[in-house]
Amino acid sequence: MKNFLTVSAFICFNILLLVGVLLITTPSFSYYMTKGIVEKDVYEMIDSFVAGTPHADMVLDSMPETGTTVITITTDSSKFLEDMVEEGIMDYFSMLDGNVTVVFEYGGDIGTAVMTITQVKQD
């Protein structure tokens, strides 16, 4: 009986150790996997995401001399922006390098809504 308890404790310890290692290493693996994505691909993913949204337009302005890229998404209604956020568009913004700022602006009586994403790369 004593040997059985010793073996059981050993197995439980190894399982807990394995779970701990997986919990610690998985976030770092996923971080480095997203680093392998080229930003041009991320911009294309954002563009295709916006293209699937009715009444939404996207403009991408790149200023290489300052390392700044500005993405402006304009919609006819704040509801369309809210839908894009709920469907996961923010996940794409998190893949961009550097300092990324997202600003929401609502047009009030006009009904338009604008999301401006500014990316500033750091050297």
Question: Mind listing the pLDDT tens digit for each residue in 63-91?
Answer: 888 889 899 998 888 888 888 889 888 88
Q: Categorise residue 10: left if φ over 0, alpha if ψ from -120 to 50, beta otherwise.
A: alpha
Q: Could you report how far apart the first and last alpha carbons of the chain are, in Å?
A: 64
Whole-angstrom distance, CA of residue 37 vs CA of residue 96: 9
Q: Can you list the pairs that 49-57 forms with residues at least 24 positions away whose Cβ atoms lie under 8 Å?
A: 49/84, 49/87, 49/89, 49/92, 50/84, 50/89, 53/80, 53/83, 53/84, 54/80, 55/80, 56/80, 56/84
Average pLDDT over residues 37-66: 81
Q: What is the mean pLDDT of the chain?
A: 75
Predicted TM-score of the model (pTM) = 0.63
Per cent of the chain over pLDDT 90 is 9
Whole-angstrom distance, CA of residue 9 vs CA of residue 35: 40
**CA geometry: angle 96, 99, 105, nearest 5 deg:** 90
Q: Given a cut of 50, is residue 35 above it in pLDDT?
A: no
